[in-house]
Amino acid sequence: MMEGENPLANAIRATFTRPSWGFLLLIFTGLAVLSIHITRNTIFQLGPISSQAGLERPRGPPSCSGLFEAPPPRKVVKSISEFGGVGDGRTSNTAAFRRAMEYMEKFRGTGGTQLNVPKGRWLTGSFNLTSDFTLFLEDGAVILGSQVIMATIDGQGKMWWDLWWNKTLEYTRGHLVELINSHNILITNLTFRNSPFWTIHPVYSSNVVIKNMTILAPLHAPNTDGIDPDSSTDVCIEDCYIESGDDLVAVKSGWDHYGIRMARPSVNITVRRVSGTTPTCSGIGIGSEMSGGIRNVLVENLYVRDSAAGVRIKTDKGRGGYITNITMRNIMMERVKVPIRFSRGADDHPDEQWDSKALPKVKGISISNVISVDSRKAPLLQGIDGAPFEDICMKNVSISGLSPSVKWNCEFVSGFSDGVSPVPCFELQKMAHHLGVHIPELQWSLKFRPYSMVVKYMEKSIQFLCRHR
């Protein structure tokens, strides 16, 4: 079948359109925040994506954005200009934003507040948000990050990237948006650019919706992940376009012994209708910092082009924790070097106190309805000696562009496969002991039924396990 005739490829590709360049740079940190709404009054155009969001069109594709509970109209509405803000692109508004937030804090829990940012270019350093708060950007409003060298406030990231490349960095690079211990968060219809480090980082947070976003960074800017939910619960990421020098989306939950001690997993994460490119990393990454555990992750309708990897599971000795019940489906890739990669051995630890005996547990990974064209390498699935990755289910996976001599590379993994091309590695076909666990009747069949019937029964059982995972 020709690529243009493939209905799955056409359906997935039609879902994604590269949006026009937007115009916002926003830097702030949210600490222990309840109910934040960050938006602008005109919907940012994302072509077919924005028009399909579930809340705007109930009959459209599914949406998880209902996790965010829309607040009532705010009791107090102010403009940043009332706090001395000047939107000329030159005047520092750090003090104005901090005065505004100090004022807004007084109304926490008593009807909430809204801070309007009028049209203009508003230069600022970092400022903390408060609870029961809406940050409302009018059309033409641009918040610019200051280039004062202080941790976490520089959104014009080139200076920080240069320091990192030159190995002269003396400060921790800041995230563009970091939300800590926050609940009921909506970030939507904005463009974020040039983060010094990870762009959007919700940590220890819940009920977070990030949708209709454009996130842009130079393709070789170091560690400029798009969206990284970390030790958070009930996170919805939908309808986003991302260009970055690292993972488009990476689910995390703590680093080595620190993450093990905190034991704050990432749970119930949905990533849907996300597209983009990253020449150094993956479209969707699970890990590698996953020591608090990661479970119940759904990734669907993903489009990745011109990237190092499509989907990736990352972990290592010393991480501990677990990755389980991960579902990835309806994925289109073009010119991706390694479409599917499970990797180990990053040798990346926070300090010398990490425990080499803390092994991660990876089990229950389902990948289905995947098309990768112009692929460079076969899938690479590397588990860990002493902690193999189990119950890996591959169904309806088509990888084209490879030389006939190229084979899957698998080690310390086991699982199921159905409708996979080229033929997967032996570890995904060696089913008997797994089926013995899931379907005890197989043991009886091996003893009393003809071999041909047993083989047919095993094939159907494999299909059933993949279909219902």
Q: Could you give the residue numbers annotated as active site?
A: 246
Give the sheet arrangement for strand 120-124, strand by strand.
88-92, 120-124, 141-145
The counts of H helices and E strands in the chain are 8, 27
Q: How far apart, in Å, are the Cα atoms of 353 and each of 70, 256, 264, 349, 442?
A: 44, 9, 20, 9, 46
Residue with tokens 């360049």: 21
33/198 Cα distance (integer angstroms):
20
Q: How far apart, in Å, are the Cα atoms of 173 and each of 165, 176, 250, 261, 349?
A: 13, 10, 18, 24, 18
Q: Where are the beta strands (DSSP E) in 189-293?
A: 191-193, 200-203, 206-211, 214-216, 233-243, 249-251, 266-277, 282-286
Q: Would you say 228 and 269 are in contact if contact means Cβ atoms under 8 Å apart?
A: no
Q: How far apart, in Å, are the Cα atoms of 405 and each of 335, 400, 411?
A: 19, 13, 19
- Mutual orientation of helices 441-448 and 451-467 as an angle, nearest 10°? 160
